[in-house]
Amino acid sequence: MNLLEKEDLIRTKAEELETASPEEIIAWAIRTFPNITFACSFGAEDVVLVDMLQKISPKTDIFYLDTDFHFKETYDTRDALANRYELAFVRVSPKITPEEQAQQFGDELWKSDANACCNIRKVEPLTRILSQYDAWITGIRRDQAPTRANAKKIEYDTKFGLVKFNPIAGWTSEDVWQYIRDNNVIYNPLHDRNYPSIGCEYCTRQVMPGEDPRAGRWSGSDKTECGLHK
């Protein structure tokens, strides 16, 4: 299937599957693009998709970007999920260690240049792993941020050059948590401590009542995305 054929198929199916369930979208994605992967960050949305994938296609690859800066609770959530589902998450690491990064760019690069830190520890590793696949699945939702408001459930990811599926793009936060409760899904305990959006430890803080759910990410700066999504 060439690029034009893919784009035509994506446009047609994006309209057709807009009202489909996440499970239906995932099943179609895997049938159509068997060389597919899921990017997991172990937040609430992603643990829902882990659970769905284990019921639909347990052999589908699931990777995570190990920035070396995650909260301990995030690594604990990874281990608990791996144990429950008997799966092995694919670990994707930056090309340089935190120590090498400090030597090259100075201590606490996330403070002096958060975009550069994200590029080194997230964007480059993601570009590398996605080059091995024809499609990927994400847990983004339209109401998470203005930058995600127009996300389609199926789209062509021009940044990384492959098909992108956002099965729960139309869900609300309550939809996510209802699924977690109904299916007894393991989730990151930080969510119970006012961390609705969880990234690296150095760039994530608790969100206070009345604040935007993503206010805890890169607090005090105008940065809203790490560069993985447009």
- Residues designated catalytic: 226
Closest by alpha carbon to 7, among 153, 160, 156, 154? 156
Question: Looking at this protein, which amino acid is placed at residue 142?
Answer: R
Rg, C-alpha atoms of the chain: 17
> Could you identify the residue written with the tokens 């209802």?
178
Q: How many Å apart are CA 67 and CA 179, to the nearest integer?
A: 28
Angstrom CA distances, 19 to 14, 35, 175, stand at 9, 25, 15
Q: How many Å apart are CA 188 and CA 75, to the nearest integer?
A: 9
- Label the pairing between strands 36-39 and 154-157: unpaired
Q: How many Å apart are CA 35 and CA 65, to the nearest integer?
A: 19
